[in-house]
A and B are shown apart, each in its own frame.
Chain A
């Protein structure tokens, strides 16, 4: 249901064309990051906020997305997402 809704919203915004050109670095956890983060925002937010956050900084960002923004990230995925961000886009 939620997936459907997100899909419908994405399709409703042709003005955001160009987003398809955003490619994250390859590494373990990349697909998890793409699937979870791109639900609500383009992945260039990650590139833009690099490379100056340490592991703690990325952890805080991920936690903010979950706790304040309501991102439905599975508990078991949180560490993998933080690992990817810290290793590929950390300082």
Chain B
């Protein structure tokens, strides 16, 4: 991976004759829209763009809308709703949802008493709970995969941390009389395909995860109604698991006694079996070769300083960031100031719950002038940690390679 600085050196050396202006543009873009390791076409096509109700975010695609959160927003414990990333697969998105007209059906063959809930039922008839949890797209950092793989070329920002308030999915399922035979809970939302032949975005959860006390039908985020682009009026929240299961604009929940078959469960969102140290299994969907993605692997992000930051020799600079995992909780974050030779324990911020990310910081005083490579590595309470080499997979999931930021002391 070329750092921005190395890249600029190459440019200044006049090695890039044809399309020089383009390449300089690329160098500028690499700074604003994501790491230089993203595909050049991604950086060139990126721009800051606003969806209604949102701050300018990094536009990856207009339709379906995919917008990434700039890393600077991750210096806060909770990601502001109007800066929270937006991810859709299909472009048939309701322009606005009227909560008074919205209905949630709880049905399927494996329920005794199907229900239909209004927004009022949902928000008044069940116990309301709140959980802090990281919502991360399975493909976060896909754009950093080497070799590159097709898909939305996310940098570091298809992630956010929020306080989700809602009702327990299990309370709804219990009220509807979940039968013992149930194997999976199927989730569908109001968004859908443009063409009839395109598979609707429908997902399923194993019953055990759907019945987990932390799995919610959420109607609020950070104390406010969900933003439209994050699933208003209600979405599924599956703490610990990647956001593919967090169905937005949820309209239908059904219990079935057979594994759900649909494009977005198989072949989409699959990881090769046995390649990643994940603990949660989704047995009813497993095949010989692969299995659905489930929990997030241990990971961390350096949010400050930004790559290429210039600092004074002998003056302290605060290296800070966030660390998260699939819900075991972060045990330690270590920082290296010398490219990974010596590791020091970073200071952890407040524990906001095991599904929240954990802020961390480390004071670094560069003793000599020149470039310093700063690395951060998180370890969770289950003993899991980050890798130094990418575990390549064709969909670009679970990229938890230790991140490297260069600081230049003068």
Contact = CB atoms under 8 A, between A and B. Distances in A.
A71 to B, nearest CB: 7
Secondary structure type dominating chain B contacts? loop
Interface in B45-67: 45, 47, 49, 51-52, 59-65
Contacts of A2: 195
Interface stretch (B35-43, B116-124, B277-285, B306-314): B35-43
Contact of B150 (A40, A57, A68, A70): A57
A68 B62 contact: no
Given A15-B51, A48-B42, A53 B198 contact: no
Nearest to A21: B47
A22 B153 CA distance: 17
Nearest to B49: A18
Interface in A60-79: 61, 68-72
Interface string A30-51: 0000000001111011011111
Interface stretch (B4-12, B87-95, B295-303, B359-367): B87-95
Contacts of B199: 68-70
Contact of B152 (A13, A48, A68): A48
Interface residues of B, number: 37
A32 to B, nearest CB: 18
A72 B127 CA distance: 47
Interface string B363-375: 0000000000000
Contact of B41 (A13, A40, A51, A72): A51
A6 to B, nearest CB: 6
B14 interface: no
A22 B41 contact: no
B41 A50 contact: yes
A65 to B, nearest CB: 9
A42 to B, nearest CB: 4
Nearest to B263: A68
A12 interface: yes
B51 A61 contact: no
B19 interface: no
Among A40, A48, A49, A53, find the residue whose CB has the most chain B CB atoms closer than 10 A. Answer: A48
Given A42-B62, A49-B41, A50-B39, A15 B95 contact: yes
Interface in A1-41: 2, 6, 9, 12-16, 18-19, 22, 39-41
A7 B13 CA distance: 50
Contacts of B47: 18
Given A18-B49, A69-B198, A72-B195, A44 B62 contact: yes
Contact of B61 (A48, A71, A89): A48
A13 B263 contact: no
Contacts of B42: 47-50
Nearest to A70: B197
Contacts of B40: 50-51
B274 interface: no
Given A15-B95, A18-B62, A39 B51 contact: no
A47 B59 contact: no
Nearest to B267: A68
A40 B47 CA distance: 21
Contacts of A49: 39, 41-42, 150-151, 153
A19 B152 contact: no
B196 interface: yes
Contacts of A12: 95
Contacts of A50: 39-42
B32 interface: no
A39 B51 CA distance: 21
B63 A42 contact: yes
B39 A52 contact: yes
B148 interface: yes
Interface of B: 39-42, 44-45, 47, 49, 51-52, 59-65, 90-93, 95, 147-148, 150-153, 193-199, 263, 267
Report the 9 A-B pairs with minimum CB-CB distance, sorted nearest first.
A70-B197, A50-B41, A47-B45, A52-B148, A19-B62, A42-B62, A42-B63, A16-B63, A40-B194
16 contacts: A13-B91, A13-B93, A15-B65, A15-B95, A16-B65, A18-B49, A22-B45, A40-B193, A41-B61, A47-B42, A48-B42, A49-B150, A51-B40, A52-B147, A68-B263, A71-B198
Given A18-B47, A48-B45, 6 more contacts: A9-B92, A16-B62, A50-B39, A52-B41, A69-B199, A70-B196
